[in-house]
Amino acid sequence: MINWGIIGCGQVTEVKSGPAFNKVNNSRLAAVMRRDKALAEDYATRHNVPKFYTSADDLINDDEVNAVYIATPPGNHAEYAIKAMKAGKPVYIEKPMAANYRECIKINKASQKYKRPVFVAYYRRTLPGFLKIKNLIEKGLIGKVRFVQLQILNYLSQDEKSGRLPWRVKPEISGGGHFFDLASHQLDYMDFIFGPAQKVVSLAVNQANLYDAEDFVSASIYFPKNIVVTGTWCFTVARECNRDSLEIFGEKGMIKTSTFTFEPIVLINENLHEEYINERPENIQYYLIEQVVNELMGRGKAVSTGITAARTSRVMDEVVAEYYKGQSVKSRLF
């Protein structure tokens, strides 16, 4: 039985991940940790978790906990992951894997040193709809892939406009801006279906000047088999400009859907115009957590590891490298 402890039981753990640890076979949620005692106790009560802590070290050193899920902001991922592995426990880490690629390397070196596996919550690698897209490509229904177009356009929140900045736009905590939070899912999925990226050409700027992080990013990324992924990410447009699109263009057709809103998957070629359901599970990390538990039980392999996730962090670091060059944000000193 895998007895999980969660470090950082915030919003992401309420539905996306937390309940799945009790739903997967041979898995249970044994303990949670949050610095605020009242919030930790409240989470434990609502989710029927036997124990709660206000110290990460206390949870890591709980003999009953034999695997640790790190769901804090990225700035703490490396510290907690290395402590957990040193204590003999495998780790499942929220994405992005760490604040930067340098810290990902530290985590993976610790994994080798302490002989404990690392998994990262890039769960689109296991979702039925995203596996369907991969299958359509592998069947040759759009021929050879030529290029992919990614877009995420979002408006400013009221907190951002008023200066009450969320941690996601504080590079010293998150590693960058919203690009790191959202594009990481997209770029990891590209790695999953096409293989490791080989070259990055990019531009990152700050247009609204409301926080230190980049708020606009444009990138072209070269993948194996001459596939080019181009992306545009802007987080300061009007609400009416909101867009979430994933379009894959091939020599014989195209596939289009979205990354986050789970729009239907549309396949178009000379002979077909079909739509497929893009399923969003209630607990969206369920399938990946199931894979992780099965691997820990000696029954297969999980598809999102510290090795694959580090590649995504490396790409993101390269995308924003010029923007942060010479700046004093310590988490972005590569």
Q: Report angle CA 54, 85, 45 to the nearest 5 degrees.
A: 30
274-297 pLDDT, tens digit per residue, is: 999 999 999 999 999 999 999 999
Low pLDDT (below 70) residues in the chain:
326-334
pLDDT of res. 89: 98
- Strand arrangement, sheet containing 216-223: 199-205, 216-223, 227-237, 145-155, 243-250, 253-257, 265-269, 273-276
Q: Which helix (H) or strand (E) holds 38?
A: helix 37-46
pLDDT of res. 326: 62
pLDDT of res. 219: 98
* Whole-number Cα distances in Å, 123 to 27, 172, 180, 193, 242: 18, 25, 16, 13, 24
167-201 pLDDT, tens digit per residue, is: 999 999 999 999 999 999 999 999 999 999 999 99
Q: State whether CATH 3.40.50.620 applies to domain 2-124+285-304.
A: no
At 290, is the secondary structure helix, strand, or coil?
A: helix
pLDDT of res. 137: 98
Q: According to DSSP H, which parts of 143-280 are helical?
A: 158-162, 171-174, 178-194
DSSP states of 109-158: HHHHHHT--EEE--GGGT-HHHHHHHHHHHTTTT-SEEEEEEEEEEEPPH
- In this structure, which topology does domain 128-281+313-332 adopt according to CATH? Dihydrodipicolinate Reductase; domain 2 (3.30.360)
Beta strands in 258-320 (DSSP E): 265-269, 273-276
pLDDT of res. 334: 39
Domain range annotation of the chain: 2-124+285-304, 128-281+313-332
- Give the torsion through C-alpha atoms of 297, 298, 300, 305, to 10 deg: 70
Nearest CA-CA partner of 203 in 228, 178, 221: 221
pLDDT of res. 332: 47
Beta strands in the chain (DSSP E): 2-7, 27-33, 51-53, 67-70, 91-93, 118-120, 145-155, 199-205, 216-223, 227-237, 243-250, 253-257, 265-269, 273-276
Tokens for 164, please give them. Answer: 């009450």
> Do 81 and 93 form a contact (C-beta atoms < 8 A)?
yes
